[in-house]
Amino acid sequence: MERLTSLEKFHELQSTVRAERPEDRPQVIISAGTCGQARGANGVYDAFRDALAERNLSEKVELKRTGCHGYCEVEPNALVLPQGVFYAHLEPKNIAEIVDETIVNGRVVEKYVVANADGSEHFALAQELPFYRRQQRNLLTLNTLIEPTKIEDYLALDGYAAFAKALSSMSRPEVIEEMKRSGLRGRGGGGFPTGMKWEFCYKEQADLKYVVCNADEGDPGAYMDRSLLEGNPHVVIEGMLIGAYAVGAQHGYIYVRDEYPIAVRHLQIAIEQARELGLLGESILGTDFSFELQMSRGAGAFVCGEETALLHSIESKRGMPRQRPPFPAQSGLWGKPTNINNVETWANVPLIVNKGADWFAAQGTEQSKGSKIFALVGKIRNTGLVEVPMGITLRELVYDVGGGIPNDKQIKAVQTGGPSGGCIPAHLLDLPVDFDALREAGSIMGSGGMVVMDEATCMVDVAKYFLEFLEGESCGKCTPCRMGTPLMLEIVERICDGHGTPEDLDTLESLAKTIKNCSLCGLGQTSPNPVLSTLRYFRDEYEAHVYDKVCPACLCQNLIRYEIDQDTCISCDRCRKACPVEAITGELKQHNYYIHNHLCIRCGACEEQCPVSAISRLPGYDPPADGAEAKKQSPSHSTAVGSAGGEQ
Amino acid sequence: MDLKRIDEIINQHTDTHDGAYPPVIPILQDIQSEYRWLPEPALVHTAKRLRVPLVDLYGIATFYQSFRLTPPGEHQINLCMGTACHVEGAPLILGKLERKLGIKAGEVTEDGKFGLDEVRCVGCCALAPVMVVDEDYHSLKGKKDVGKIIDEKRKSDEKVSN
């Protein structure tokens, strides 16, 4: 494509690509982010391509492979436009029927659309789906419509128009003022007002300034940044261009997680396309504004999500945080003023410039404006990425959008904010989701991961999981975090193993407070959150581990035993074969199967293989002396929790 | 070891780079994409070429998890240990894989065929629990026999070599 040398040329190109893409044109759009591709989206794409070609429809129907549409649970899925029919759980063999019925005859094939839990209601149109109905998809809608490797797709949907508008008709302070008025706060976890951050950097006098996009999405359980970069990399680039113009930066970096290969590839393609069109480089659109952008790949360190560590990593040093101030706005990359924002924050910028600060500020709550993308995962029916207005309650998110908890289980908690966050218990589900309410409840919004946990989840085990994570990710620079997280882990491990003492709980609390108050960076300061929030809301579970040596969720391996219910057992021998340590004895059809607890390593293989759910986990690990004695025990004195079938 | 190839990689980066500190991380990343790990002679040579103390390179290679100082398996199995995967039973799956392969996480089988690693979140939380074999993502949700995927890999390798 030809390099755009003026605003007029940009508008000409925009009209051309728009005219080539009438809104009501027939399209088939395949959701093909990393997870979609893992579930077979590429095979579905090929099947559509072949079926359309066989019917001579390749010219008439546009077939697209886009980023994630969010509804990951029902992938691979496809959206048929202009009708808006949403087909789920597709297989290549179904495609010919869909092409014949929906594209040729205009009819819906009901068996491939999403139904409600009991199958009584079918939802043909995307906008009718309960999963989408409550959402406010300001950003994710673009993911659905844009082929990420085609800049023309983005240009046709107002792409780079916000940048052109800012560059041609807004002064730098005006852009910053617009950001401030919109109320946009950092989507990476901190929640710092974006406009204010830009202003700090703008006011610094320097020969060179940088803007940086933090795409080091390290929070386990969050993947919205990956999805945005895979599905719509240009919106992030455009946001950065506007930010660079506003603060007066000449150079930018996108620091992206190397674990996201598709995101890295799409981003690279997008940067090259923008450069070719002259949207990056010298004298952009014939003005005196020049901006160069490059990608810097992370190398696998969670702490690099912290801004000063991230900057060190771009400088090719070890990613260790440093004391602030000076803040990056004063002294950042190579000592120059630097403005850092997260992927989702940058992606919101073009929308705000295009539609206005008032439009944005009208959404959400008093202190938390706009929409936010959350990753709804764990024990929930509709897993996926959802974009909702700030202030929606956790209950609405879990039940209305997420469809509730599967397998007739009860919800226990929602973990928000990754390793820096905490667990919100079920009785606080009516809490509005915004920056401040979550912080008051002892958690944080973080980058937007929400892991739903049901009654089969042990909260002490969750705390142990995060401590293991944080111990491994502590950079080692400051003592409270380097020494404190392993100490906390040691105590929690002891509790999970059934060796905890009442004093351990007090030590844990005081350690947690010390680490919170004394650590250098955000990682250390928030590392006790998983422990503090679980101690606050689930102290009874800790106490059960400590005093009764019981794991109420029947998960901690040292505190459980497996038993076969003789009445349910069909003597099929599967469990004995599955056992890796020969802890099960019995003979086919003899109804004498028995698990020898002193040999059992509690790997769960038998429970998983049992076709009739006769094997259950029971609280308390007290291996009886021999098998004969065990048989006499009545199983009714202990409560069985979680059978294999429903678990996995 | 072909040090010429290392020189080519270094030149690609130093020619275009204008920062004060040599772009060590991108160079190590490219060396690793070429060899799948960081062999010692490559590190020694890079240190000399960049005039950076070897200990600094070693510091970076051990600080960041994606760098390997030992060769990976011919097939690399990365089991995701993200929160969603943990809640969906990843620790039990790790035990299964370890028993199946006869190695612990972080090791490579004796024949060099399979390497097993625990990894931080791969960002496919909706598919949890997730295992990545080479470049392929596998959702293990409701899958009882994770060993099957390994058996199939082994079988298809044997077919190719026959």
Q: Tell me the pLDDT tens digit for each residue of A107-129.
A: 999 999 999 888 889 999 999 99
pTM of the model: 0.94
Indicate the residue among B63, B87, B112 that finishes a domain: B63
The ipTM is 0.94
Return the pLDDT at B15.
74
Residue A554, phi-psi category: left (phi > 0), alpha (psi -120 to 50), beta (remainder): left
Q: Is residue B69 part of a domain?
A: no
Minimal Cβ distance to B82: which of A38, A220, A316 = A220
Tokens read off for A117:
């839990």
Residues 124-153 of B with CB under 8 A from A: 124-128, 130, 135-139, 141-144
pLDDT, mean of residues A471-485: 96
Yes or no: say if A555 and A458 are a contact pair by the CB < 8 Å rule. yes
* Structure confidence at residue A628 as a pLDDT band (50, 70, 90): very low
Helix (H, G, I), strand (E, B) or coil at B75: strand
Helix (H, G, I), strand (E, B) or coil at B68: coil
Same domain, B41 and B102: no
Q: Which residue of chain B comes nearest to A608, CA vs CA?
A: B144
Q: Is residue B68 part of a domain?
A: no
Same domain, B111 and B146: yes
A328: cis peptide before it, omega within 30°? no
Residue A189 has pLDDT above 90, yes or no: no
Give dist(CA B135, CA B75) in Å, integer.
10
Residue A638 has pLDDT above 50, yes or no: no
What's the burial of B36, exposed, middle or buried (CB within 10 Å: 0-12/13-18/19+)? Answer: middle
Q: Is residue B119 part of a domain?
A: yes
> What's the gap in Å between the CA of B111 and the closest CA on chain A?
22
User: Beta strand pairing status for A251-256 and A210-215?
Assistant: parallel
Q: Is residue B38 part of a domain?
A: yes
Residue A332 has pLDDT above 80, yes or no: yes
Same domain, B92 and B154: yes
Return the pLDDT at B160.
82
Three-point CA angle A204, A206, A207, nearest 5°: 155
Indicate the residue among B63, B90, B105 that finishes a domain: B63
Same domain, B51 and B81: no
CATH of the domain at B117: 3.40.30.10
Rounded percentage of chain A residues whose pLDDT exceeds 70: 96
* Structure confidence at residue B161 as a pLDDT band (50, 70, 90): confident
> What's the gap in Å between the CA of B141 and the closest CA on chain A?
6
Return the pLDDT at A622.
65
Any idea which of A364-368, A641-645, B59-63 has the lowest mean pLDDT?
A: A641-645
Which residue bears the tokens 């506003």? A246
Minimal Cβ distance to A318: which of B20, B59, B135 = B59
Query: Tens digit of pLDDT for each residue in A217-274?
Result: 989 999 999 999 999 999 999 999 999 999 999 999 999 999 999 999 999 999 999 9
* Structure confidence at residue B16 as a pLDDT band (50, 70, 90): low
Q: Best residue in B33, B38, B125, B143 to probe A by mutation, most A CBs within 10 Å?
A: B125
Same domain, B81 and B51: no
Query: Tens digit of pLDDT for each residue in A499-556?
Result: 999 999 999 999 999 999 999 999 999 999 999 999 999 999 999 999 999 999 999 9
- Give CA separation, B121 vs A233, A448, A528, B96, in Å: 21, 14, 20, 19
Minimal Cβ distance to B123: which of A260, A299, A647 = A260
Minimal Cβ distance to A221: which of B82, B95, B144 = B82
* Structure confidence at residue B17 as a pLDDT band (50, 70, 90): low
Residue A100 has pLDDT above 90, yes or no: yes
Average pLDDT value for chain A: 93
Same domain, B141 and B86: yes
Return the pLDDT at A457.
96
A389: cis peptide before it, omega within 30°? no
Residue A21 has pLDDT above 90, yes or no: yes
Domains of chain A in sequence order:
21-129 (3.40.30.10), 159-360 (3.40.50.11540), 371-457 (3.10.20.600), 460-548 (1.20.1440.230), 558-647 (3.30.70.20)
Yes or no: say if A381 and A117 are a contact pair by the CB < 8 Å rule. yes
Instruction: Check CB contact of B20 with chain A, cutoff 8 Å.
Output: yes
Is the four-CA dihedral A69, B125, A419, B24 of positive or negative sign?
A: negative
What's the burial of A111, exposed, middle or buried (CB within 10 Å: 0-12/13-18/19+)? Answer: exposed
Same domain, B135 and B98: yes
Same domain, B94 and B156: yes
Residue-range definition of the domain harbouring residue B7: 3-63
Query: Tens digit of pLDDT for each residue in B70-83?
Result: 999 999 999 999 99
How many domains, in total, are found in chain B? 2
